[in-house]
Chains A and B, each alone.
Chain A
């Protein structure tokens, strides 16, 4: 079946530091890949997505590239802000069933 493994947290960074959260997946076929963000007490917000190999998703300074050869979709941001403090979830969706499989989430705290 489909599964997602992401870097365990928590991750604590200083403002303007570089952020990387690793995500690898197992899937039959070629899924779509997503990063969602969850701020304290809220639901999930779509951060970015990529639907095929070598696609790069980007939003709000975050980027992730769909790497089929390494089955990875690592999230990066060059200079984090305090407002980026949240829980980040990597997820995949099979093109046939639209069901999302999530990683366990990575808690990121950015200190001023």
Chain B
């Protein structure tokens, strides 16, 4: 049973560029949540997708956007990158329809903005 997968594992960008991160949820899961983890801190909730719609959002600017596809996979897009966007981006999956709230995390994408 495949767990949550994310790509790429590492990424280096420069300020002002745009980036797209990808996530495939655990088999049987329909809900994808994205978190940002800055160095030495706990993960912060960015947003959550269910049924291809953004279900709820944390305190992040509109530069952060996402998408969920019919196969439940998801993308996180960040525009106009800032140095402060350097972090580990974590994707987690769960199942709202199956009332399985436990979230399982992928290995993360480490983004460095120069």
Contacts and interface: CB of A to CB of B under 8 A. Distances in A.
Same complex: yes
Interface of A: 4, 32, 34, 36, 42-46, 49, 89, 91, 93, 95, 97-105
B69 to A, nearest CB: 19
Going nearest first, the 5 A-B pairs with the smallest beta carbon separation are A102-B42, A44-B105, A43-B107, A43-B108, A43-B105
Contacts of A42: 107-108
A98 B105 contact: no
B6 to A, nearest CB: 8
Instruction: State the main secondary structure of chain B at its contact with A.
Output: strand
Interface string B40-72: 111111001000000110100000000000000
A43 B106 contact: yes
A34 to B, nearest CB: 7
Contacts of A97: 48, 55-56
Given A43-B107, A103-B42, A104-B42, A98 B101 contact: yes
B31 interface: yes
Interface residues of B, number: 27
Given A98-B33, A100-B33, A44 B43 contact: yes
Given A89-B42, A104-B42, A105-B41, A99 B105 contact: no
A32 B45 contact: no
B114 interface: no
Given A98-B31, A98-B96, A99-B56, A104 B41 contact: yes
Contact of B33 (A49, A95, A99, A103): A99
Contacts of B55: 97
A91 to B, nearest CB: 8
B81 interface: no
Looking at B6, B41, B42, B90, which has the most chain A CB atoms within 10 Å of its CB?
B42
Contacts of A4: 42
Interface in B60-114: 88, 90, 92, 94, 96, 101-108
B108 A46 contact: no
B55 to A, nearest CB: 8
